[in-house]
Amino acid sequence: MPEKWLPPIYWDGEAVAILDQRVLPHREAIIRCTQLNQVVSAIKTMAIRGAPAVGVAGALALALGAHNLKTSDPKTFRRQFSALCEKVKVARPTGNNLRWAVEKVHSVLAENPGAGVPKLQAQIRKAADRILAEDVLDNQAIGFHGQQVIPQGAHILTYCNAGALATADYGTALGVIRSAYAVDPSIHVYSCETRPFLQGSRLTAYELACAGIPVTLITDNSVGSLMQQNKVDVVVVGADRIAANGDTANKIGTYMVAVLAHRHKVPFYVAAPRSTIDPTIADGQEIPIEQRDPREVTHFLGRPVAPKSVEALNPAFDVTPNSLIAGIITEKGILKKPYGKSIRKVFKT
């Protein structure tokens, strides 16, 4: 296990350093980005992944991009920076945090009407650093609120990786688990491997092992059998985008887990900051679902497993309807049904 825990993304002087999650847990490699395009590429290739971490990466990419713009003319700077924002915003389509972070950093232009280029660059950097710092605080608050839904000595099932690696630090669903473990070391976690990118076996198991939290790795298709044997007390997962009515997009397979949890009366919770909630879309039907390279399914560690002639589908996310969700754990507290009302309320606070 690593001597020192490395956050998924941080500043290394004027460069953005990204811990390459494609080679974890067996190798710790840092991608040192001095250009916005390098960060965008790290997002697309999932060297950095997880909706909040992608949002933070987008913000830091824009600070890098703003710093590298050579013009001293504010008008030109504003036009060029807006173009960079459009480029970063589309790096991955499903996670709301990227869109949210880009719009937040872009709003620096409107908030500083008469500013010169150096001031705009400094304000953009400040806005990006605030997004990173606030994400850590939000996750700690999610952990604090979420621990109350974890029964004493619970067996908790989680899916994909919604941990420190998927955020600026601490994690959302894994933040709830870390906070619960801090008060009750008798809890135990089931981590689903999460085909095809294996975020559960490579990243969640790694994080929990590093933290000394008891974890058992399971195949995605063994969830039903475990629940049938009453071996799961509660499910906590992360989210990529939550619609105004509470419908939630998360890693492909999450809906399957939610249906099984409903069938076996296991409470199913979503943990996510408000930056993951998209109040501009009414329900889950409107959430864009990323379709990734089919080779992530037909190949394993780069080697073909399926016959060459066979096609594969590779949607990266699915949508769990609000009816299957027992609560949405945010930094402002746990939202309850009807989610339309509780989401409107939490955006007012």
Q: Interface residues with ligand MRU (CB under 6 A)?
A: 49-52, 95, 160, 162, 166-167, 172, 199, 238-240, 250-251, 316
Whether 240 is catalytic is yes
CB of 140 to ligand MRU, least distance (A): 13
Closer of 259 and 289 to ligand MRU (Cβ): 289
CB of 264 to ligand MRU, least distance (A): 21
3-state SS string for the chain: CCCCCCCCEEEECCEEEEECCCCCCCCCCEEEECCHHHHHHHHHCCCCCCHHHHHHHHHHHHHHHHHHCCCCCHHHHHHHHHHHHHHHHCCCCCCHHHHHHHHHHHHHHHHCCCCCHHHHHHHHHHHHHHHHHHHHHHHHHHHHHHHHHCCCCCEEEECCCCEHHHCCCCECHHHHHHHHHHHCCCCEEEEECCCCCCHHHHHHHHHHHHHCCCEEEECHHHHHHHHHCCCCCEEEECCCEEECCCCEEEECCHHHHHHHHHHCCCCEEEECCHHHEECCCCCHHHCCCCECCCHHHHEECCEECCCCCCCCCCECEEEECHHHCCEEEECCEEECCCHHHHHHHHHHC
β-pair type (303-304, 299-300): antiparallel
CB of 268 to ligand MRU, least distance (A): 14
Residue type, 314: N
CB of 218 to ligand MRU, least distance (A): 16
Write down the catalytic residue from 138, 240, 247, 278.
Answer: 240
CB of 158 to ligand MRU, least distance (A): 9
What residue number has its CB nearest to ligand MRU? 238
CB of 229 to ligand MRU, least distance (A): 25
Closer of 51 and 60 to ligand MRU (Cβ): 51
Closer of 96 and 123 to ligand MRU (Cβ): 96
Closer of 238 and 333 to ligand MRU (Cβ): 238
Closer of 20 and 115 to ligand MRU (Cβ): 20
Closer of 95 and 327 to ligand MRU (Cβ): 95
| Cα separation, 184 vs 237, whole angstroms | 19
Active site residues: 240
